[in-house]
Amino acid sequence: MARRGRASGVARSGRERMVRRRSAAMVAAALALLALAGVAVAKVTAPLTLPDARGDVKGALDMQRAALRRAADGRLRLSVTLASAIKPADLLAGTGPPGSICLKLWTVAGADPTATRPDRLVCVTARSADELRASVLEQTAPGLPKRVNSASVKLTKGGRSLILRVNQSAIGQPKSLLFAVESTRAGCIRVSCIDTVPDAPDTRAFSLR
């Protein structure tokens, strides 16, 4: 009986140690997840917000504000607020170029925006009268830019703002960049139909690391 009692006590002690080890492992895993979550939150950047004068261009794509940030999922997030509500049909043109809103990016270290064009563009155009589309374009060679990837875009409920999101891998994962935002009225090629934030040829620096 004494031997069985001692054996039972040893077994209980072994089970208790196993339970403690498992509990410790679960706590360690939970702490690791919290630490990772903390890192993710730490990487979210405050938006770099740039105001723009209302009425400096005519038409539906008069920008009032642009804000660029790095979101929690690592993507670049651009918010553009317009002077009035728009719909995708406003970017369609009967003749001439379509309307567009483009995030212009200089991703090469030491780039001079006054002397070189942006090497990446993330542009919003209209797929149809009811749907927008967003594309990543590369222009590192002479000629027209070429489409290299896609991005996501949506209009807010009121139609005055659009939200553009793009993966860093789609723009080459630079450590930092220079950027500007440009809108072009549908069917118009005049300079007076183009709105820029900040005012051209100015750009703003943005760090990704």
The model's confidence at residue 196, banded by pLDDT at 50, 70 and 90, is very high
The whole-number pLDDT of residue 25 equals 53
Residues 183 and 165 occupy one common structural domain: yes
| Residue range of the domain that includes 149 | 48-207
Span 54-111, pLDDT tens digits: 999 988 899 999 999 999 999 999 999 999 999 999 999 989 899 999 999 999 999 9
Q: Is the pLDDT of residue 41 over 50?
A: no
Note whether 105 and 177 are within 8 A (CB). Answer: yes
The whole-number pLDDT of residue 30 equals 44
The model's confidence at residue 40, banded by pLDDT at 50, 70 and 90, is very low
Q: Is the pLDDT of residue 39 over 50?
A: no
Of all residues in the chain, the percent with pLDDT exceeding 70 is 79
The whole-number pLDDT of residue 52 equals 96
Q: Mean of the per-residue pLDDT values for the chain?
A: 86
Residues 140 and 109 occupy one common structural domain: yes
Q: Is the pLDDT of residue 176 over 90?
A: yes
Distances from the Cα of 61 to the Cα of 19, 70, 80, 98, angstroms: 64, 24, 10, 12
Tokens of 142: 């002479």
Residues 37 and 79 occupy one common structural domain: no
Residues 59 and 32 occupy one common structural domain: no
Residues 13 and 78 occupy one common structural domain: no
Of all residues in the chain, the percent with pLDDT exceeding 90 is 72
Q: Tell me how many domains the chain contains.
A: 2
Closest CA to 124 of 160, 91, 156, 85: 91
Residues 178 and 124 occupy one common structural domain: yes
Q: How far apart are CA 75 and CA 167, in angstroms?
A: 5
Choose between 187 and 11: higher pLDDT.
Answer: 187
Place of tokens 């209980």: 12
The whole-number pLDDT of residue 16 equals 59
Closest CA to 106 of 77, 80, 138: 138
Note whether 129 and 48 are within 8 A (CB). Answer: no
User: Which helix (H) or strand (E) element contains residue 27?
Assistant: helix 2-42
Place of tokens 């790095």: 70
The whole-number pLDDT of residue 10 equals 46
Residues 20 and 82 occupy one common structural domain: no
Residues 82 and 105 occupy one common structural domain: yes
Note whether 179 and 197 are within 8 A (CB). Answer: no
Q: Quickly list DSSP for 137-161.
A: EE--SSSS-EEEEEEEEEE-TTSSE
Residues 65 and 33 occupy one common structural domain: no
Note whether 196 and 100 are within 8 A (CB). Answer: no
The whole-number pLDDT of residue 209 equals 79
Residues 89 and 167 occupy one common structural domain: yes
Residues 156 and 86 occupy one common structural domain: yes
Residues 14 and 54 occupy one common structural domain: no
The model's confidence at residue 35, banded by pLDDT at 50, 70 and 90, is very low
Span 129-157, pLDDT tens digits: 999 999 999 999 889 999 999 999 999 99
CATH number at residue 105: 2.60.40.1190
Q: Is the pLDDT of residue 1 over 80?
A: no
Q: Is 124 buried (19+), middle (13-18) or exposed (0-12) by CB count in 10 A?
A: buried
Give the single-character DSSP code of 59: S
